[in-house]
Structure 1
Amino acid sequence: MNTLKPLLARNRSWALLKLNSDPHYFEQHLHQQQPHSLWIGCSDSRVPAEVLTGSHPGELFVHRNIANMVDPADDNFMSVLQYALHYLKVHRIVLCGHYGCGGVQAALQLPQMALADESSALSRRIGQLRDVLGHKIEGAAPKTPDPETLNHLVETNVITQFSRLVQTQPVLDVWRSQRELNIYGCVYELATGHLKTLIEKTAEEAV
């Protein structure tokens, strides 16, 4: 029977392990959180922000969605961004894509997919991603894209979403106030577990 018991058991084991190594582990962030970074990543289950960065609870404020998209019209995304910058006052944003991204591949192949005929949130989201990537996708939509083409589109998507992020109002407000805020566009390699920086912009460069 598929129940929650295995997850609950692993949760108890994890909590016990943490308490055994540090009796005050959970008390540190009991009354407030003070993360140093906002992580904007893909919802892909293979790219867990805290795990791949070796972070502890309280260190990362996290927003994940399909293909790590930055959408100024999305209240969910924008509320996370605003809260992280203006209330938690993080001084770093990491926008992270990953090679082998299913969302980017779907955007590439959308005209050949049944998804294109749907009226659904997923179809609209992938269609929006295809529009955002624009000319990088037009004329290059093979049924089975080669890894090099897909990896290039993943990097293009990170750089494109990064350019949208640095133009959002909450980011501009922080930079205009001359508060420290550095933004990084990274890609994660599933095969090695390594992060690679593709693009960055610091508070000093924004002035």
Structure 2
Amino acid sequence: MLTTLSSLIAKNRSWALQCRDRNADYFAKDAEGQAPHSLWIGCSDSRVPAEVLTGSHPGELFVHRNIANMVMAEDDNLMSVLQYAIDYLRVANIVLCGHYGCGGVQAAVNLPQMALNDENSALSRRITRLRGDLAAHLPCGRTDVAPEENVARHAALVEANVLAQFAHLIRVEPVRNAWRRGAPLALHGCIYDLHSGHLQALITQQQEELSA
């Protein structure tokens, strides 16, 4: 553990030095406060770091990540992040991002056959909720599915999850309140491809599209 921490600290020092070499005031501007343009709600997967894949600098993104980029109104952690980002940081965009190869989505598919299904744990409850969100899209019947078809099915489920979580996002109180008062807030649902490194937009909704 000490070796791992030492390596992280060494890489941090190298990164900080490179940043200061390029711009002597690089850190000074962030020390004065933050004004991110967007809130990023993404998956906790270690392969999907928001700042890295978007080429963002510190101070540009306010970030919340959880398993399978889920939006749950009863999740105080997420709701507090949303309220703070919208009401205090005045972000203009919320990006909800899923990714192909999502382990949370795969767990939702496999849940009935997993030991997790018999647990009374936070993870079990979350994956059970995710399975419910995806119920209409879950495969049934055939088990003799070719590998390429399995990949396509999983990709479709990941996209369905982004749309399902997006549907929750447009209904949570911090977002609804912002739109009611006329705040310029746009929501975007995206997919990240681990193989290409590319982001793809699936859906966008803005204030003027708010239904009564």
Quick one: which amino acid aligns to residue 190 of structure 1? L
**Residue 73 (structure 2) aligns with:** 72
CA contact (8 A) 1:188 1:195 kept: yes
Q: CA RMSD in A?
A: 1.7
Quick one: which amino acid aligns to residue 209 of structure 2? E
Quick one: which amino acid aligns to residue 39 of structure 2? L
Aligned equivalents of 1:201, 1:86: Cα separation in 2: 19
Asked if 1:162 corresponds to 2:166, the answer is: yes
CA contact (8 A) 1:38 1:94 kept: yes
Asked if 1:39 corresponds to 2:40, the answer is: yes
C-alpha deviation, 1:138, in angstroms: 6.2
Identical counterparts, % of pairs: 58
C-alpha deviation, 1:141, in angstroms: 8.8
* Cα distance per residue 1:113-137 (max 9 Å; x no partner): 1111122211111111111212222
Give the alignment of 1:11-160 within 5 angstroms.
11-137=12-138, 139=140, 146-160=150-164
TM-score, normalising length: structure 2: 0.93
CA contact (8 A) 1:108 1:141 kept: no
* Cα distance per residue 1:84-137 (max 9 Å; x no partner): 000000000000000000000000010011111122211111111111212222
Moved over 3 A (4+): 140-145
**Residue 176 (structure 1) aligns with:** 180
Quick one: which amino acid aligns to residue 74 of structure 2? A
Q: Which deviates more from structure 2 when the two are superposed, residues 64-73 or residues 134-143? A: 134-143
TM-score, normalising length: structure 1: 0.95
How many corresponding residue pairs?
207
Aligned equivalents of 2:77, 2:112: Cα separation in 1: 28
* Cα distance per residue 1:61-84 (max 9 Å; x no partner): 000000000000010010000000
Shift in alpha-carbon separation, 1:141–1:126, aligned structure 2, 3 A: farther
Shift in alpha-carbon separation, 1:166–1:140, aligned structure 2, 3 A: farther
Q: Which deviates more from structure 2 when the two are superposed, residues 181-190 or residues 118-127? A: 118-127
* Cα distance per residue 1:32-54 (max 9 Å; x no partner): 11000000000000000000000
Q: 2:205 aligns with which of 181, 201, 206?
A: 201
